[in-house]
Amino acid sequence: MQSPYQAELELAKSVARKAGEIMRMYSSNSGRSNNSAAVCVKSGVDLVTEADTHVERVVTQIIKNAFPEDDIVGEEDQVEYPKGKQGDPFPAGRIWCVDPIDGTTNFVHNYPFVAVSIGFMNGCIPRVGVVYNPFTDCLYEAAEGSGVGTLLNGKPVRIDGVAASVEDCLLVNNIGHCRYDDFVDESTDRVNKWLRAGLRGYRSSGSAAQNLAHVASGQVSCYYEHGYGGPWDVCAGIVLVKEAGGVVWDAREDGTDLRMRFGKGSVCAGGKKVVEDVLRVAGKPKITF
Ligand code: IPD
């Protein structure tokens, strides 16, 4: 069986590998512990490098050449794209959602949780996802209706099918880029609650796309983030997790699939049972975006 989105999947994979070459080039040019890409601060602790904009330019050009009618949303804003305010739903057409370097802070520090994330959605639903980490050479791929689920370097993977509660959960939780008091307090209170409930293991990676790929391949049991940066962080990973047997819910609502919206969002992904328990223990977030 082939996915109805096979052509988009093949393009996403080749684009991701090209993006990886560029990322490696910036990284290996450096004789220092930090890589050679010039760094700017977008806001607060949110960084962007010339490598991010370079990768996004190349990726969007290749997609435009292959599918000239499609729209593209890229984190670094290199192209014309559908625009919306925080929380607005996406338009229903064919839209590619690209994060050229997810984990930019990690990239700047040569910390190897870094990935390019290429998602494709149609009718507001993510249909194809490719996440590629060029430093570990791990390529995760999935396309709706393919019949083969999620693949890691060509081999099928599944979510952690064992974890059912926080006590047997390896949780990855990113705290994102907000640094104001209420946000920091709420984020750390949540960590306290999980730890007091006997959480097996707590990790924070600095890459949302990488986290979703790790959930899809069962390398972590669950990923929670209240305040991820934007739809490009999660679009591809949603497909990876769902095709691997998991759920991707909006962490602000019980049992609701994460919807593709502009701006920051809130996610909890993993096997259904462990997601329910992680959300139960965390309680509802109060901060709104
Ligand atoms: C960020 C990373 C980080 C997550 C933030 C994202 P960027 O993306 O995925 O792990 O916590 O919410 O914005 O800025 O590195 O592309």
Task: Compute the distance between CA of residue 54 and CA of residue 59 in angstroms, rounded to an integer.
Answer: 9
At residue 186, φ and ψ (nearest 5 deg) are -65, -40
Any ligand 1 atom below 6 A from CB of 231: no
C-alpha torsion sign, points 162, 168, 174, 179: positive
Query: Has 95 been annotated as catalytic?
Result: no
Any ligand 1 atom below 6 A from CB of 176: yes
Say whether domain 6-156 belongs to CATH 3.40.630.30: no
102 annotated among ligand-binding-site residues: yes
**Ranges in the chain annotated CATH 3.30.540.10:** 6-156
Any ligand 1 atom below 6 A from CB of 56: no
Atom 2 (ligand 1) nearest CA: 207
Residue 33, pLDDT above cutoff 60: no
For the residues 248-269, what does the mean pLDDT come to? Answer: 95
Helix axis angle for 272-282 and 181-196, nearest 10°, is: 120
Residue 172's beta-bridge partner residues? 203, 223
Could you tell me the pTM of the whole model?
A: 0.96
> 124 C-alpha vs ligand 1 centroid, how far in Å?
22
Residue 16, pLDDT above cutoff 70: yes
Atom 13 (ligand 1) nearest CA: 229
In the prediction, which pLDDT does 31 show? 44
> 100 C-alpha vs ligand 1 centroid, how far in Å?
11
3-state secondary structure the chain: CCCCCHHHHHHHHHHHHHHHHHHHHHHHCCCCCCCCCCEEEEECCEEEEHHHHHHHHHHHHHHHHHCCCCEEEECCCCCCCCCCCCCCECCCCEEEEEEEEECHHHHHCCCCCCEEEEEEEECCEEEEEEEEECCCCEEEEEECCCCCCEEECCEEECCCCCCCCHHHCEEEECCCCCCCHHHHHHHHHHHHHHHHCCCCEEECCCCHHHHHHHHHCCCCCEEEEEEECCHHHHHHHHHHHHHCCCEEEECCCCCCECCCECCCEEEEEECHHHHHHHHHHHCCCCCCC
Give the pLDDT confidence of 188-207 residue by residue, as tens digits: 999 999 999 999 999 999 99
| Of 45-49, 97-101, 254-258, the least confident | 45-49
For the residues 20-29, what does the mean pLDDT come to? Answer: 87
**The two structure tokens encoding residue 26:** 């910036």
71 annotated among ligand-binding-site residues: no
Looking at 3.40.190.80, 2.40.50.140, 3.10.20.30, 3.40.50.1820, the CATH number of the domain 166-282 comes to 3.40.190.80
Atom 11 (ligand 1) nearest CA: 176
Query: Has 104 been annotated as catalytic?
Result: yes
pLDDT band at 49 (very low <50, low <70, confident <90, very high): confident
Distances (CA, A) of 286 to 4, 131, 189, 194, 260: 40, 31, 12, 17, 21
Any ligand 1 atom below 6 A from CB of 76: no
**Ranges in the chain annotated CATH 3.40.190.80:** 166-282
In the prediction, which pLDDT does 90 show? 85
> Which atom of ligand 1 lies nearest, measured to the CA of 210?
9
99 annotated among ligand-binding-site residues: yes
> 212 C-alpha vs ligand 1 centroid, how far in Å?
12
Task: Compute the distance between CA of residue 114 and CA of residue 106 in angstroms, rounded to an integer.
Answer: 6
Query: Has 233 been annotated as catalytic?
Result: yes
Query: Has 102 been annotated as catalytic?
Result: yes
